[in-house]
Chains A and B, each alone.
Chain A
Amino acid sequence: MSSQRILEAQGISKHFLVDKGGLMRRARSVLYAVDNISLHIDQGEAVGLVGESGCGKSTLARVISRLVDPTAGTLSISGNDVTHIGSLRFVHSPLRRKVQMVFQDPSESLNPRFTVFDIIADPLRQLCRPKRKAEVVARVEEAARAVNLALELLERFPHQLSGGQKARVGIARAMVVDPELLVLDEPTSALDVSVQATVLKLLAHLRQEAGVALLFVSHDLNVVRLLCSRILVMYLGRIVESGPTEDIFNRPRHPYTKALLSAVPSLRADGRVESVHLEGELRSPINPDPHACRLAGRCPRQQERCLREEPELQPCGPDRAVRCHFPLD
């Protein structure tokens, strides 16, 4: 079992110091972007990470890809603790290529001065140090074929591509080094629905064919539902609910999950869920009250206890956990 575990994160936190202003800028406060999160991803698994913007899901994705170092906690890739390897050394570690990230906006994350070929070849040259040019060409073309990118597009520049083609270049760039886990940060949010469908199918195909695991970060539960077998719901730096996709959709236990589900517009009149709207906005993640539930103030089920004591993530049923004093049935 443990040999299949690609990624294990234990008590990961990422805090940022923010200036409060003031003379000499001495007054500092702490922004708890990711606060004590544990998760694991097995081989070939597709995990969805959902939450509103500002809940820390992108930061968590970056910590997991080790683009930023966590403040606390340990991260292991294929059973090897990588938290203590310095960033510079990690670049040359053979573990580096195992976790690759696909960024949010395909237009912004491609170097406009590189051709598509060079964009895809870049991580390969950096991480795998191929000896011969023919090897680079072969692997870039293989990656392009895997994402259904026509080979004649390899000579073009990003501005000559459509949105869907750019998204595929972003995925090919991640896939070229043969990773075991793709971390996708809202890969379809900038795309049209018709193009989104192609990208989703492509990801499912890659998971099946190449056996790559996916961590799919999104705020769109409908997309996550189709692609992922397990869902983590995040709110203000914390995981508030986790479990198998079907279960969460059929029986959300956390009031926040329920609100998220009901906010998604649905085409099917029969499946129309009662609408639960959250009042107000996300609270600031700067210095949150350690003794209150972070949803307090927006939660329809809030009681007095929620303001005194922050709930723990409690297991509830097979593979499920919820962080709530008064979960839904």
Chain B
Amino acid sequence: MTSSTDSAPLLSIDGLSVSFRTRRGVVNALDRVSFDVGCGEIVGVAGESGSGKSVTAFSVMGILDRAARITSGSIHFEQRDVLGMSQRQRDAWRGREASIIFQNPRTALNPIRRVGQQIADVLARHSPDSPRVIRQRVLDALRQVRVSDPEKRQNAYPMELSGGQCQRVGIAMALACSPRLLIADEPTTGLDVTTQAVIMDLIRELARSRNLGTVLITHDLALAAQYCDRVVVMHAGHVVETAEVSQLFTSARHPYTAKLLRSVPSMVDRLDQLQAIEGSLPDLRRNDLPHCRFAERCERRLPVCDSQALTLEVVGPHHRVACRNPL
């Protein structure tokens, strides 16, 4: 349970805005997103689909779609300006110092390349080792994520492995070059609960033992509660609340967080306590988006919500909320 406000954070995202050009107008996917990730800290980024979680991750990694444009803000990694890096510097940085585990392990791997070869590709890209050393490092990487019988499994194609095994390969690939920042983008979507528990335990254990800064992107607040130190809640491209896990789940201040918590089946005892969040995310192409993008779904909306721009206000130690009328 570390929080790194005193020392400089590993990753610092500040006022990041991203928009996408589409045939039907400009989508303002992220609006002034800011949060930090410290060394050895696991930060959850939670929200519905379309809230901008993955766009945030892709912006950090520099793998956004060509239609995307970062309109403002900065990303710093160990006080180095990531967005200011040249393409070549960025390519060297990605994979070696920061890496990502993708959402669907089966589709994230190349289907016609043996998994060991795919890990070797990453290693060869970032280190001048001889093929023999690389082969050894591939086996080490597979052993670390506890793939049984790595000598044999390295020759398998993704389709020959189960979903859980594929995700282990994905983790092995992400950690092969010993990065310091790990982004896990919904790493257990599409996996069984039992496999999910094993994979999440593995990610947590590796992150802790290597003192990694970890970002866990998820829509499952229960998962975030179990594995994260701190959670950033996003809604429609805004960060609406950030807090330490214990605080968030006992005293959420933003109406959206509170509603999100009550929509999780494990939070309630009976079905009638379960609450759906009415309405849907606002159309992010609109020019007249309200200051608070949750306002149109909110029961606690006040006139002041529409008149003033929102900022994240500090409401407690490590607890910030962007709301004019918090709970």
Name A residues whose Cβ lies closer than 8 Å to a Cβ of B.
Answer: 52-54, 162-163, 192-198, 200-201, 204, 219-223, 225-227, 259-260, 262-269, 275, 277-278, 280-282
**B275 in contact (CB, < 8 A):** yes
- Quick check: B219 and A193 within 8 Å, CB to CB? yes
Counting chain A CB atoms within 10 Å of each CB, which of B246, B265, B271, B276 scores highest? B265
Known A-B contacts A201-B276, A222-B266; A227 and B196 likewise in contact (beta carbons under 8 Å): no
Shortest distance from the beta carbon of B263 to any chain A beta carbon, whole Å: 4
A/B pair count, beta carbons within 8 Å: 108
Q: Which of A197, A264, A265, A269 counts the most B-chain CB atoms under 10 A from its CB?
A: A265
Q: Which residues of B contact A225 (CB under 8 A)?
A: 265
Chain A residues contacting B219 (CB-CB under 8 Å) are: 192-193
Q: Which 8 A-B pairs have the closest CB atoms?
A: A198-B276, A263-B197, A222-B265, A197-B276, A265-B222, A194-B277, A197-B263, A222-B266
Pairwise interchain contact B192-A265, C-beta atoms closer than 8 A: no
Query: How far apart are B193's CB and chain A's nearest CB, in angstroms?
Result: 5
B123 interface residue (CB < 8 Å to A):
no
**By the criterion CB–CB under 8 Å, are A260 and B193 in contact?**
yes
Knowing that A193-B260, A265-B196 touch, tell me 6 more A-B residue pairs with CB under 8 angstroms.
A193-B264, A197-B276, A219-B193, A225-B265, A226-B265, A275-B197
A197 x B275 contact (CB < 8 A): yes
Sample 12 A-B pairs with CB under 8 A, ordered by A number: A53-B192, A163-B49, A196-B265, A197-B275, A198-B276, A222-B266, A225-B265, A226-B268, A259-B194, A265-B266, A267-B266, A277-B197
Contact of B274 among A52, A162, A226, A278 (CB under 8 A): A226
Q: Does B201 contact A (CB under 8 A)?
A: yes
B residues with CB within 8 A of A: 48-49, 148, 162-165, 192-198, 200-201, 219-223, 225-227, 246, 249, 259-261, 263-268, 270-271, 274-277, 280
Q: Given the complex of chains A and B, what is the CA–CA distance between A8 and B164 in angstroms? A: 35
Q: In the assembly, what is the distance between CA of A259 and CA of B194, in Å? A: 8
Q: Do B276 and A221 touch across chains, with their CB atoms under 8 A apart?
A: no
CA distance A163 to B271 in the complex (A): 21
Known contacts: A265-B266, A267-B221, A277-B201. The answer to whether A195 contacts B194 by CB under 8 A is no
Please determine whether A194 and B259 come into contact, CB atoms closer than 8 angstroms. Answer: yes
- Which B residues are CB-close (under 8 A) to A280? 148
Q: Given contacts A194-B48, A195-B276, A201-B274, is CB(A266)–CB(B197) below 8 Å? A: no
Verify B226–A265 contact, CB threshold 8 A.
yes
Question: Which chain A residues lie closer than 8 Å to B194 at the CB level?
Answer: 52, 259-260, 263, 277-278
Distance of A265 Cα from B220 Cα, bound (Å): 9
Contact A197:B48 (CB < 8 A) given known A264-B266, A267-B267: no
Task: Give CA–CA (A228, B247) in the complex, Å.
Answer: 32
Q: How far is the CB of A247 from chain B (nearest CB, A)?
A: 15
* Residues on A with beta carbons closer than 8 Å to the beta carbon of B195: 52, 281
Q: Tell me how far the C-beta of B152 lies from the nearest C-beta in chain A, rounded to whole angstroms.
A: 15
Q: Please judge, given known A-B contacts A263-B193, A264-B193, A266-B266, whether A194 and B260 are in contact too, CB under 8 Å.
A: yes
When the two chains form their complex, are residues B225 and A265 in contact, meaning their CB atoms are under 8 A apart? Answer: yes
CA distance A281 to B195 in the complex (A): 8
A267 to B222, Cβ gap below 8 A?
A: yes
Q: CB distance A268 to B266 under 8 Å?
A: yes
List the B residue with the shortest CB-CB distance to A281: B162
A5 to B280, CA, bound (A): 40
> In the bound complex, what is the Cα–Cα distance between A104 and B175 (angstroms)?
33
B270 contacts A226, CB within 8 Å? yes
Q: Identify A200's interface contact among B192, B221, B271, CB under 8 A.
A: B271
Residues in A with CB closer than 8 Å to B163 are 53
Give bound CA distance, A250 to B227, whole Å: 24
Tell me which residues across on chain B come within 8 A of A268, comparing CB atoms: 266-267
Q: Are A227 and B271 in contact (CB under 8 A)?
A: yes
CA distance A200 to B201 in the complex (A): 29
Which A residues are in CB contact (< 8 Å) with B48? 192-195
Q: Is the CB of A52 within 8 A of B192?
A: yes
**B217 → chain A, closest Cβ, in Å?**
13
Contact A220 B265 (CB under 8 A): yes
Q: Which residues of B contact A278 (CB under 8 A)?
A: 194
Chain B residues with Cβ under 8 A from A266's Cβ? 222, 225-226, 266
Q: A277 and B198: CB pair below 8 A?
A: yes
Q: Report Cα–Cα, A52/B162, bound state, in Å.
A: 12
Contacts of B267 in A (CB 8 A): 267-268
- Find chain A residues with CB under 8 A from B265 CB: 193, 196-197, 200, 220, 222-223, 225-226
CB distance from A201 to the nearest CB of B (A): 6
Which residue of chain B has its CB nearest to the CB of A193? B263
> In the bound complex, how far is the Cα of B263 from the Cα of A200, in angstroms?
10
Q: Which of B201, B246, B263 contacts A194 (CB 8 A)?
A: B263
Instruction: Verify B271–A204 contact, CB threshold 8 A.
Output: yes
* Minimal Cβ-Cβ distance residue in B for A198: B276
How far does the alpha carbon of A192 sit from the alpha carbon of B163 in the complex, in Å? 21
Question: Nearest A residue to B273 by beta-carbon distance?
Answer: A226
Instruction: Give the nearest-CB partner of A164 in chain B.
Output: B280
Which residue of chain B is the closest to A227 with respect to CB atoms? B271
- Chain B residues within an 8 Å CB radius of A269: 246
Instruction: Determine how close the nearest CB of chain B comes to the CB of A240; give it in whole angstroms.
Output: 14
